[in-house]
């Protein structure tokens, strides 16, 4: 079974904006992106109101894990060393997966809140 969102063409920055909008609509008090040494976003922090008060969340954007899976799913595209095409696709896919997770979690919060 292929990785969720493996064929997305939506740029990572657009998905990040979509996530911010989802969180805004659900009353997020804060949204912050954490950057790694390579300048790429490595995690998303946000604070939302829950039945237990304001609750912080820290979600990784695990691009490298997605890249490994894409290499396994599409071995013909494998190359020695870093492959910028696969890396860019992994970035897009990782962000779409995170967006799906945020949407699901906000829906669950709406059910209990």
pLDDT of residue 75: 73
Distance of alpha carbon 65 from alpha carbon 55, whole angstroms:
27
Cα→Cα distances 28→45, 92, 102, Å? 10, 24, 12
pLDDT of residue 76: 66
In this prediction, residues 79-83 reach a mean pLDDT of 61
Query: Using one digit for the tens of pLDDT, what is the confidence trace for 18-73?
Result: 999 999 999 999 999 999 998 999 999 999 988 889 999 999 999 999 999 998 88
pLDDT of residue 83: 76
pLDDT of residue 78: 53
The answer on pLDDT for 80 being more than 60 is no
Whether the predicted model's global pTM rises above the 0.85 cut: yes
Q: Torsions phi, psi of 60, nearest 5?
A: -75, 150
Query: Using one digit for the tens of pLDDT, what is the confidence trace for 84-109?
Result: 888 999 999 999 999 999 999 999 98
H-helix or E-strand containing 46? strand 41-50
The answer on pLDDT for 77 being more than 80 is no
């Amino acid at each position: 079974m292929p990785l969720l969102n493996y064929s997305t063409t939506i740029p990572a920055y657009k998905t990040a904006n979509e996530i911010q909008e989802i969180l805004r609509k659900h009353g997020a008090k804060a949204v912050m992106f954490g950057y790694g040494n390579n300048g790429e976003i490595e995690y998303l922090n946000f604070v939302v109101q829950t039945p237990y008060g304001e609750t912080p969340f820290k979600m990784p954007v695990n691009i490298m894990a997605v890249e490994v899976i894409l290499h396994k799913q599409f071995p013909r595209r494998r190359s020695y060393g870093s492959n910028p095409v696969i890396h860019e696709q992994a970035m897009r896919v990782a962000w779409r997966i995170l967006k799906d997770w945020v949407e699901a979690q906000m829906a669950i919060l709406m059910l209990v809140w």
